Amino acid sequence: MRRGNRRRAGLRRGLRGQRGIAYLGVLLLVAALGLGMTQAARIWTTVQQRDREAQLLFVGDQFRAAIASYYNAAGGSRYPASLDALLEDRRGLPTLRHLRRLYADPLTGSTQWGLVKAPDGGIMGVFSEAPGQPLKRHGFPARYDAFGDSDAYGEWAFVYLPPPPVDGAANEPGNGAAY
């Protein structure tokens, strides 16, 4: 009988040793899962930020195009006094809608935008008031090439500048203009 007791005692000692190894394996597995989840969260955050930047470029361009449309409509050559004027332009008949709705800033979630004031007091552009540094550094459309070296989102200003007026110099004698 003593042999049986010794055998059982040996089994118990072996199981206790294996329990410690299993516990260590579970701890290592939990640590590896934690590191993996941390990496996944970092990647997800970056993807979300890039998506919000792409939305900002789209929405900002919509505002710029709406301001350009307002400026050139109804014999205007005048910037809107507020962003609400882009929703309903009653300067002429029929009423024009240069913008369907006031878009929220994709970075802040607010409809509050930074405004670029024109010399006449109107609004010639918008910019995001979000803090932080942009991830996107290159690959902008030609009209937004200046965004490439920006250190803050506030430097991404979506501004409409009218083309310079054509002066009469091209029609002066001696410049090859036909009479």
In a domain, 174, yes or no: no
**Separation in Å, CA 111 to CA 101, 103, 160:** 10, 6, 20
In a domain, 8, yes or no: no
In a domain, 2, yes or no: no
Three-state secondary structure readout of 54-105: HHHHHHHHHHHHHHHHHHHCCCCCCCCCCHHHHCCECCCCCCECCCCCCCCC
pLDDT recorded at residue 46: 86
pLDDT recorded at residue 70: 92
Three-state secondary structure readout of 4-28: HHHHHHHHHHHHHHHHHHHHHHHHH
* pLDDT tens digits along 13-44: 655 555 678 888 889 999 999 998 998 888 89
* pLDDT tens digits along 38-91: 988 888 988 999 999 999 999 999 999 999 999 988 776 889 999 999 999 888
CA pair distance 56, 106, nearest whole angstrom: 6
pLDDT recorded at residue 80: 92
pLDDT class of 174 with cuts at 50, 70, 90: very low
In a domain, 13, yes or no: no
In a domain, 19, yes or no: no
For residue 145 the two structure tokens come to 């090439």
Q: Which is it for the CA torsion 52, 55, 61, 63, positive or negative? A: negative
For residue 86 the two structure tokens come to 């882009």
For residue 179 the two structure tokens come to 């009479």
In a domain, 90, yes or no: yes
CA pair distance 86, 69, nearest whole angstrom: 9
For residue 178 the two structure tokens come to 């036909």
pLDDT recorded at residue 7: 58
> How many structural domains are present in the chain?
1
* pLDDT tens digits along 115-166: 999 998 999 999 999 998 998 888 888 888 888 888 899 999 999 998 887 7
Question: Closest Cα partner for 128 from 87, 157, 160, 159?
Answer: 157
CA 150 to chain centre: 13
In a domain, 61, yes or no: yes
CA pair distance 31, 41, nearest whole angstrom: 15
Structural domain of 134: 50-159
In a domain, 173, yes or no: no
